Structure 1
Amino acid sequence: MTDGLFIAFEGGDGAGKSTQVELLRAALEARGRTVTVTRQPGGTRLGQQIRDLVLHGEHVAPRAEALLFAADKAHHVEELIVPALRAGHVVLTDRYTDSSVAYQGAGRSLGAQEIHDLAMWAVDDLVPDLTVIVDISAAEGRRRRGEVHDRLESEQDDFHEAIRAHFLAMAAGNPQRYLVVDGLAAPGEIHEQVLARLDAMGVLP
């Protein structure tokens, strides 16, 4: 859309996605780009309400959880992401549709294809130009999170390992759209890998 660029950061809880989003935002702004930073769920007012409900509220049935996340994505894309891309911004999002496919499709065993189709319908088939998977083990994610857990973070390690495996499978199936980085590497090293990939894509100013 116009000169906009759409980049998503995905990975397990505690992987360091938000750190990479901030490093990339600073680097792109230093190069003169206008950057819109957001997250899913929670990038809009409605999204924040959905985030509080699903991640910090009472039990939510798995299918209801998937539908609530899809609703967040539909609203988020129409209200924030698409307008920013049309204005020529670089949009950086902490999580996008791949999280739904991994968490609800694989983690909740609702079916990866079914959740993928639902998510694509919700976002009107808008996919990122690049998706960065920050890869860490479930045990490392739990260590980093410490004692603070939301509803999804508090799930057992086998849940998180299923999610990790699905992220890696998605990346292996479409290497042109994904970059997998080792979440155990230093943040600066990961950031340089992201910049190198964007440079290879010819999208850096």
Structure 2
Amino acid sequence: MKLVVVTAGLGVPSATRLLADRLAAAAAGRAGAGVRVVELRDLAVEIAHTFTNGFPGRNLSAAFDAVAAADGLVVVTPVFSASYSGLFKSFFDALGVTDENALAGKPVLIAATGGTARHSLVLDHALRPLFAHLKAVVVPTGVYAASEDWGAGGLDGRIERAAGELAALMAGLSAVAEPGGKPAGRAAGEAAAQTDGIVPFEQRLAALRPAG
């Protein structure tokens, strides 16, 4: 399986990249997936050109292909003005222009970094609606890391929980995929589950939701 990490950190070193790496390591370890990191900082010029000429450059096109082919995504943005960064949003806007269904049905773990815990609602007020609009399947647990969270036990717990949810969704989708790589229908998936002992994707997703 393939896990792609999209990180919009601007600094070097970057807290956003650090969080992305920790999430990727936890999720890839559980899913047995290879990891590719897409640094949006390196693609800023090509992203801007895409909106003016309508065509992604070579590096941006390769990033789009990686995202479209991924079995799961980890996306991490710094918080600017209580929302995702413009670079982060522009990347997914440009992706939607080239392929509006690139994220349809794809498991996505959302995460963000910021200087204060007061911006943690960015996950539910900005990122979750964005990826719902892009037809992605967003894992229940998002991860926000404020400055004071680094080194705290609570962050480790959220990372492990979110990574487990993403790995479960990736495994569920892989289990119901046809040999050619196209998603199987619900009936076919359930039939395969009954004959092969595989838990259907819908049951996996339901198991991730908190009780009550």
Q: Which TM-score bucket, shorter chain as reference?
A: 0.3 to 0.5
What TM-score, normalized by structure 2, do the two folds share? 0.45
Greater relative CO, 1 or 2 (CA 8 Å, sep 6+): 1
Structure showing greater Rg: 2
